[in-house]
Structure 1
């Protein structure tokens, strides 16, 4: 059973602290920024007014990249990430209307099953970011 949450667009300044805490606790908060963050669309999932999950998408023509998808450890495994992906896919379907587009990400191998539930498929070979194995995953919408 998934928790009741509210998902909404948020500012980059809202996502950075959670990104920092979950993804890069040993780096500075400024090192948690990614190129083009200013151009991204950032989303936050709130449980009881507390930000518990964030995700950023970057749209370039008909290609949408999901980046820096993070959920606080205490809230992982409770369906929040799935609700975020549902929200993002609904947002993109509305944004693109009848146009074709690709939604993709560099997925940690430990999260492949989550993305597969949303129709995403592995594209390409395994690669590493530091010690962590990744695969590029995508879903082509028409």
Structure 2
């Protein structure tokens, strides 16, 4: 397994395939993507999992974390997230956070992320803001 920086276009391909294949391709593009750092996990040269990191000061939000459906459950996403947390810490980030889908809270808790009191619903999906301090 190899984690490396990727282009936003590479991230878009996986986002679209995994998260919103029924939406127009522009739907998965974020206005902040040009300023983000995009990471991908490769296995045998194939991109399996992506995440985008957006740093502001000493905080970073990760967004659009997606692993190809046929590759889920193999540890690719976990390995990618571990590497991204390490990279963020090395860049001087003191807090990393995300908007976690409620059904994925336990996944993030395995990385010592903590739930906050901030909860919201978007498109009938409930999200909980989770954070990790280094």
Taking structure 2 as the reference length, the TM-score comes to: 0.94
1:14 aligns with 2:10: yes
Structure 1 partner of 2:75: 79
Matched residues, number: 134
> Which ranges of structure 1 fall in alignment gaps of 5 or more residues?
none
* Among candidates 32, 47, 54, match of residue 36 of structure 1: 32
1:64 aligns with 2:60: yes
Aligned-partner SS, 2:91: helix
Structure 1 partner of 2:88: 92
How far apart are residue 93 of structure 1 and its match?
A: 1.8
Q: Which runs of 4+ in 1 moved over 6 A?
A: none
> Which ranges of structure 2 fall in alignment gaps of 5 or more residues?
none
CA RMSD in angstroms, aligned pairs only: 1.2
Structure 2 partner of 1:110: 103
In 1, Cα distance between equivalents of 2:123 and 2:46:
31
In 2, Cα distance between equivalents of 1:119 and 1:35:
29
Taking structure 1 as the reference length, the TM-score comes to: 0.89
Structure 2 partner of 1:136: 129
Aligned-partner SS, 1:21: helix
How far apart are residue 48 of structure 1 and its match?
A: 1.6
